Structure 1
Amino acid sequence: MGVWGTDQWMLEGSTNLDNIKVVLNAYRSIRERITYCSVPITSGHFYYSELEKKGVKSIDELVEEDQKIFIKYIMDNNSKEGIAFADEIAKESRRPVISPCAFEARTQRWREDDYMYLWFRLIEEKAKKLVMKPGWEYSNGASREFVRAIEMQFGFINPGNSLAKLPDDVDLNKEYDRIKKINLYAPGWQYLYLEDGVKLLSYAIHDLKQKGFEVPILEQSLCKLYHISLFGIKNLEQKKEKIPYKPEFDTEDSIISKEIKNLTKLKNKQLPLFKSKLEELKLKYN
């Protein structure tokens, strides 16, 4: 969720909480920071190319055409490419490399939010580096992971994000420092900045909307980056760099109205902290 919220809402209605804890504890057995490969799994280029090929606009329409195509073509191809991508990264990484597409729990009927809850926890607790597979900006899950890492860098994530209440013995200052030290990369260890995410997502959304697709999750990811950047977007516009798609900020029913309210709460209730974040952003982008 970001902006000082928690991810507890993702578990509402889930029957897999115990299984999620077991899997997460297995990852916690890795006693050093990891490199996490962010890749498309259920969406991305394979997903949209198949929709175009079949002449449909949604997964529901696609499944009506062929119930097996989602797993057989989209997920399997994404998994093959994602694992191969992680294998290449592993050759260059000094840290353990995690490939999320190598894990699946279809037989336990995990929901998408179950998977995302697991990966968010792993990223927040263990990841030192996120390496984004080319084309990540067309992926719902990968775009959310990019945003989560940026939220961590800018201190918009609560160290107890997965918990209803932080343990009393947790040193908050150390946890905030640790969380903010995550780094984002493209292949070849090219550093990715917040502005890179804004540009890539805006082009992907513009491209898909021109083809008639609705992309609410990608839009939400872009909106969150806009909020976090504040001065960064202004800086891009001053450079006269083309941003083909911009979200609406002022409509009550816009997809980001909830995020606007969260930021307002942060400003009203934690004004000193909010001001310090603005100063950090000014130094970074001006």
Structure 2
Amino acid sequence: MNPLDLVGLSPLMKLTSGESEVTIGLLDGPVAVDHPELNAESIRLSGDTPCLPKRSTACRHGTFVAGILVARRGGMAPAICPGCTVLSRPVFTETAPDEEHSLSVSVQRLATAVRECVDAGARVLNVSAGTAQPSTRQERELHAALDHAAAHGALVVVAAGNQGTLGSSALTRHPWVIPVVGYDSEGRPSAHSNLGSSMGRLGLGAPGENVVSLSAHGGVRTQHGTSVATAFVTGAIGLLWSRFPQADVAEVKNALTGCHGRRRTSVVPPLLDAWKAHRMLSATQSGRAAE
């Protein structure tokens, strides 16, 4: 099944391409903003953030995720919300090609980036980074940054991780975040995705296998993983807030994660249903207008 159809994004994308007032903080690698299929006018760079070298894992990863969000419509990338503004805040260190450890980030660096994006006006943060096991002090620092996001009404969407393990991390177990698990095209959790009680209770599933998006070298490439899946949830939030700018953060979060009925007890989160979330917000906002 088409990834956009799988999670109810196709009908929502027909209604809007996103509004520039909705800013998405992209905490990832740098983005190759000169890619011809990228809607570069929708990208704000945080300081001097060149995508060099373009062969690096960080650059390839950041460009791929940016393509899911703000590629130009009509190409091969999902291009969920090209009308939204993406604030690119690189957190990965540029290293040689295929060094996967380049997709890890220190807790302090991540916490700083979260605060900076929130203070710059981001309404939703897309976090693909994994961190080493933090000390108690470092975990408090990270949680303080996430509390800062919550206090300012910014949603935080995070990748669950790709180790295929059962358990939570300092990032995914924070009650404010929405952890995202990768799903295959048949709507089943991917074998590589981490699962756990916090993912099942707070999170969502989204397309995470054989997704096509932009390559830093130009053209497109295929990638899988929970980082890929995370961008689908972030893009859905961008479209929902574009459609319902007066909705508060609790309403948007509940429409996404609370529309699946009874209290969750599984370690596997439900699949994103963006169209159902849209219907819920539509009813909520219509009821408010009638008061």
Q: TM-score, normalised by structure 2?
A: 0.31
More helix by share: 1
If you compute each CA radius of gyration, which structure gives the higher value, 1 or 2? 1
More strand by share: 2
